[in-house]
Amino acid sequence: MLESIDRRKFLGNSAAGSAAVGLGLSAARANGSESPNEKIIVGIMGLRRGRRLASLFAEQPNVEIRYVCDVDSLRAEVCAEDISSADGKKPQAITDFRRILDDKQVDALVCAAPNHWHAPATIFGCSADKHVYVEKPCSHNPYEGELMVQAARKYNRAVQVGTQRRSSEGIRHAIAKLHEGVIGRVYLVRCWYDSTRGSIGLGKLVNVPPHIDYDLWQGPAPRRPYRDNVVHYKWHWRWHWGNGELGNNGVHSLDLARWGMNVDFPIRVTSSGGRYHFEDDQETPDTHTVCYEFEGRRSITWQGMSCNKHGSGFVTFYGDQGSLELSGNGSHTTFDRSDKKIEEVDGVSHGLTEHITNFLQAIRENKPLELNAKVLDGHKSALLCHLGNIAHRTGRALNCASENGHILNDQQAMDLWSREYDQAFEPKV
């Protein structure tokens, strides 16, 4: 098992077996004496973002962090020393996430590894009877997102996507107002993300550091030689592993835009932008504007800049009776049709702690439909990012099917719907 993904072992956990266990605690403990409010055992995969998640999960009552996992053994050891569950237990530092899947007592896998691992790890986790908290974007490409939805349903697992603003009280309040018609029919949403990232330079081929398992880091991605400007984090700006700023941070505002406008799949996507600031190894655009058109004369735009922090906001909704500005922590201001301010509400939380609490509660109470960021919603929002990137990479507008977002009459664009996989880690349902 630890040498390669054993498909027979994973898929031997049949859907019927998972259904018999139900949504609650792991199969090894489901028939014991523990009540639904007893301890939930968690393993964390990927310890950059996962370090923060491990700390927050550890603060939750009746939660044990059994494993902290990173292909960088030094990072795993430091995290294991820093984290302890409420009962004082220290997690084990490991480098291979498959040990989490092999432990039948583990209830939940938290995946905060790089983007190309999000969907495969989620699918492997579901098939190994684990509930999954997976960071955004939930997939590296659209095909993976569809597989994730299938896996969650087949194995009856709770899969919470890390678009945590869906758990922010202030944001939920603002979205409810939109759905109640506070600004009338919403026909346009504008989204922004701006940052000042530096250059990643021109990488050199070097030996893999002894504390990094680069083969496992690559996992489902076809093998490439190790360069000194990819691991850690800078993989975001290379198509082979990442999704650029649109997939990295754009997914947060696009998720809220889609939710507030109450739309699913676009019918047309256009993109403009490119590498305008640095000349380096980055492939994804540092200056990017994408427009999504939906049925019913509605549109969402996203503008992102990676090298200039002078931004315009986060998300603004425009309706036929006014507008609503929404920040990332739930603060929102409503204006009437003549642009007069009619209400201003302060926000207090981006929702991360509440998001984790919601995930644990859904497991304990057997209520997967009460997850705040269900995997289907995560897929729909990530798909907007993927379509924007595909439009950018092909250099032309995409026409899409309103029922599933599939690209119409453009085989070259649909070739980017999926990717090639390393055979040992190819996700299957």
Whether residue 213 lies inside any domain: the answer is no
**Does residue 308 lie within any of the structural domains?**
yes
Report if residue 175 sits inside a domain: yes
Closest CA to 15 of 150, 119, 167, 208: 150
Q: Rounded to 5 degrees, what are φ and ψ at 58?
A: -65, -25
* Per-residue confidence in pLDDT tens, the chain, 429 aa: 444 455 334 333 333 334 434 566 765 555 444 455 689 999 999 999 999 999 999 999 999 999 999 999 999 999 999 998 777 889 999 999 999 999 999 999 999 999 999 999 999 999 999 999 999 999 999 999 999 999 999 999 999 999 999 999 999 999 999 999 999 999 999 999 999 999 999 999 999 999 999 999 999 999 999 999 999 999 999 999 999 999 999 999 999 999 999 999 999 999 999 999 999 999 999 999 999 999 999 999 999 999 999 887 899 999 999 999 999 999 999 999 999 999 999 999 999 999 999 999 999 998 888 999 999 999 999 999 999 999 999 999 999 999 999 999 999 999 999 999 999 999 999
Q: Please list, in sequence order, all residues whose beta carbon lies within 8 angstroms of the beta carbon of residue 169, skipping any fewer than 6 positions away.
A: 330, 348, 349, 351, 354
Q: Are residues 103 and 191 in the same domain?
A: no
In a domain, 208, yes or no: no
Same-domain pairing of 193 and 125? no
b/e sequence 293-312, b meaning 16+ C-beta within 10 Å: bbeeebbbbbbbbbbeeeee
| pLDDT for residue 84 | 85
Residues 175 and 117 both lie in one domain: no
**Claim to verify: residue 312 and residue 404 sit in the same structural domain:** yes
Q: Are residues 296 and 333 in the same domain?
A: yes
My answer on whether 121 and 179 are in the same domain is no
Residue 366 lies in a domain: no
Q: Residue 71 maps to which CATH number? A: 3.40.50.720
Assess whether 181 and 121 both reside in one domain. Answer: no
pLDDT value at position 300?
98
Q: Are residues 188 and 102 in the same domain?
A: no
In a domain, 365, yes or no: no
Contact of 349 with 328, CB cutoff 8 Å: no
Distance CA 294, CA 298 (A): 5
Report the C-alpha gap between 316 and 300 in whole angstroms: 10
Q: State whether 252 and 274 are in the same domain.
A: yes
pLDDT value of position 369: 80
**Do 176 and 119 belong together in one domain?**
no
Q: Say how many domains are in the chain.
A: 2
- Which of 122, 140, 165 marks a domain boundary? 165
Residue 219 lies in a domain: no
| SS3 of the chain: helix, strand, coil, percent, to 5 | 35, 20, 40
Q: What is the pLDDT of residue 368?
A: 83
- What is the model's pLDDT at position 86? 75
**Would you give the DSSP letter of residue 69?**
E
Q: What is the predicted pLDDT for the residue at 23?
A: 61
What is the CATH number for 381? 3.30.360.10
User: Same structural domain for residues 178 and 106?
Assistant: no
User: What are the phi and psi torsion angles at 249 (to 5°)?
Assistant: -120, -25
**Which residue range(s) make up the domain with 109?**
7-165
Q: Note whether residue 369 is domain-resident.
A: no
Please check whether residues 126 and 241 belong to one and the same domain: no
